[in-house]
Structure 1
């Protein structure tokens, strides 16, 4: 090969090499510039970055996560009488001059179907009646008819018609039941009415005063004498001064605002009073005296 030819090839090689070097350098520098924000994190750093991003973002409350397997139970609302017209009202258990008459809200479905007071297994009425001292043994719902003869106690409700729960009643029919209770007290003349639930007393108070009692006005236990029910004043010497009112807790299994021990503490004074009143009447007497048969 001639010297001239060799020199030309050498210059061409040098020229192409310089071009390739430029092409090789420029993309590399460009890639490094672009990769710099995303290539600096190691695996552990990426975990930290991810954790940091999660902590910065607002967390979704657990309560908002829907669980199809746990559907929220719908609240009860007013139900017309036609819904439970196949169920019969509960018969009052009343007799003249009892020590006390218990006033419930209205019969539940189980109670109406069985025809005995407070028949649902979750209801604590019969348990509290015994633990407070109102009865010396725990009665069964089907023994409700024995209350007058054995303990001088009776039972009625502010609303007659059965429903699943009290939420299916209207405020109007609750209030309208108050004068009916007043008339029952005038007829049978019990010493006391025991209101089994705050809502019942609020309905009676609403009928009398046109409003619910304030927090300051409401309290458990014995109420003021002016709130006696069925008062018959100035009727000769036999004027009935009305039944004293004792307000105690609801015994429904749905009423969970108070703990069992708190309910028992509220019921206890009433049970003690019932025992004292039976003793003062010498009841049951040694002669086997029994009160008049309850109303059927």
Structure 2
């Protein structure tokens, strides 16, 4: 008897009917679509008890997803440029234009308007004021009588001095203040007393250059050097006891002329100079001693007022002693004189 292989025993419980499988698949899809969870087949999962071993990740944010942008890029469309057609002028149009132009020019020439006349006439300009540069424009004159105790020598007259004729007339100039502070004059005089100083204190005044300028720096070295022989001639003729050069630049010019070169920095000093540099020396007279004082101009800011006073005070002490001798020789005093 032939052996018949036993077919594997089929368990009806393990077979899933097709209808049931289709039904379960539809239930799975419906459950998955509605709950967004793991599908559960109750027949194959022991009535859903295996569902507890499934792990599902739930979304943590409830914000709706961003919608894609619906904005569409815009494109520019450019239309081609249209060129205008230009027709060359004909001989007829040219002649007509020429006739019109000639007729217009004739009419404008025959009947000028007030507007054309006004625009064509130039506006009158004021003539420029000529600068004061010549010596004849200065009204200041020298006050150098013979045998002065002190002759004050300035650089040149300023503009206001040249107009008024009074020495150191600008209000910013410290000349008259320094004369009083140092004791050279017992009272402070105004610039209008320029020509009274020889009679009151035996003090005179002159300049190395006569041409007035706004500032002494406008003078050249050549012009300054040319005034040195003229100054020495005045000193030689009038023979003052001492000469005060009001400003460093005057002494530099005298040094260049007498020594033949510029003065070195270590050679310059304010105050009394060596007797070998006396001015106006001639046979029988040793000349006038030279005292170099600071400038009194308000434009010069190289030294303070106190530094200038220290230099002028040295000269003032000498003048006070010499004035006593002069007053005794004259037979009268000038202290406390009030000048009207």
Q: Name the TM tier (shorter chain).
A: 0.5 to 0.7
CA deviation after TM superposition for structure 1 residue 283, in Å = 4.5
**Residue from 251, 275, 287 that aligns with 2:296:** 251
**Cα separation, partners in 2 of 1:95 and 1:245, compared to 1, 3 Å:** same
| Structure 2 residue matching 1:276: 3-state secondary structure | helix
Unaligned ranges ≥5, structure 1: 18-22, 25-81, 234-238, 289-296
- C-alpha change, 1:189 and 1:166, in structure 2 (3 Å) is same
CA distance in 2, matches of 1:206, 1:193: 18
Name 1:262's counterpart in structure 2.
Answer: 307
Determine helix, strand or coil for the equivalent of 1:212. coil
3-state DSSP of counterpart to 1:255? coil
Choose the corresponding residue for 2:131, options 83, 94, 98: 83
Question: Is 1:102 aligned to residue 152 of structure 2?
Answer: yes
TM-fit CA distance, 1:225: 0.3
User: Is the counterpart of residue 149 in structure 1 residue 199 in structure 2?
Assistant: yes
How far residue 133 of structure 1 moved from its aligned partner, in angstroms, is: 1.4
Q: Quick check: which one's helix share is greater?
A: 1
Structural RMSD (CA): 2.9
Supply the distance in 2 between the matched residues of 1:283 and 1:102 (Cα, whole angstroms).
23
Give the one of 208, 212, 220 matched to 2:258: 208
State yes or no: 1:120 paired with 2:170.
Answer: yes
Residue aligning to 1:32: none
- What is the CA distance between 1:287 and its match in structure 2? 6.6
TM-score (norm 1): 0.68
C-alpha distance after superposition, 1:65-113 (max 9, x if no partner): xxxxxxxxxxxxxxxxx73147325211111110111011111111111
- CA distance in 2: counterparts of 1:108 and 1:98, whole angstroms: 24
Output the CA distance in 2 between the equivalents of 1:5 and 1:121: 114
245-254 vs 259-268, which deviates more? 259-268
- Partner residue in 1 for 2:27: 3
Q: TM-score, normalised by structure 2?
A: 0.60
Tell me by how many angstroms 1:142 deviates.
Answer: 0.7
State the aligned residue count.
223
Larger RCO, structure (CA 8 Å, separation 6 or more): 1
Query: Aligned residue for 1:183?
Result: 233
Is 1:241 equivalent to 2:289 in the alignment? no
Gaps of at least 5 residues in structure 2 are: 1-22, 38-55, 60-64, 67-129, 334-340
Q: Is the 8 A contact 2:139 2:164 kept in 1?
A: no
User: Does residue 220 of structure 2 align to residue 170 of structure 1?
Assistant: yes
Q: Do the aligned partners of 2:133 and 2:213 also contact (CA within 8 Å) in 1?
A: no
